[in-house]
């Protein structure tokens, strides 16, 4: 989790390993399925690290944010990411 004070955003990030032996097209199709189906969160496989799946989510805030809201958003984000992987990983790419 990182905080961007200038843009007033809290960024949640989760990183998973992805099978190196899988074809890049399969990995991109997997992330595209998740991005098409899942609203809360963004999924990517970095060009420099095709063995990683990154999921992130930005939570905006104004004058402050209650700790409860941060914890609730984080819990929801983790549930959504895990569900997206279970739902979309038809080729067992996530290790």
pLDDT of residue 8: 96
DSSP, collapsed to helix, strand or coil, labels residue 61 as: coil
Phi-psi bin for 25: left (phi > 0), alpha (psi -120 to 50), beta? alpha
For the stretch 48-90, pLDDT in tens is 999 999 999 999 999 889 999 999 999 999 999 999 999 999 9
- The structure tokens 């998973």 sit at 16
Domain 2-88 has CATH 3.30.1460: yes
């Amino acid at each position: 989790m990182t905080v961007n004070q200038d843009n007033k955003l809290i960024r949640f990030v989760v990183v998973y390993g992805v099978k190196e032996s899988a074809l890049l097209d399969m990995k991109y199709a997997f992330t595209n399925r998740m991005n098409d189906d899942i609203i809360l969160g963004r999924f990517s496989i970095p060009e420099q690290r095709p063995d990683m799946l990154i999921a992130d989510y930005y939570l905006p805030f104004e004058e402050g944010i209650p700790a409860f809201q941060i914890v609730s958003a984080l819990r929801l984000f983790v549930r959504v990411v895990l569900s997206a992987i279970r739902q979309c990983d038809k080729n067992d790419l996530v290790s």
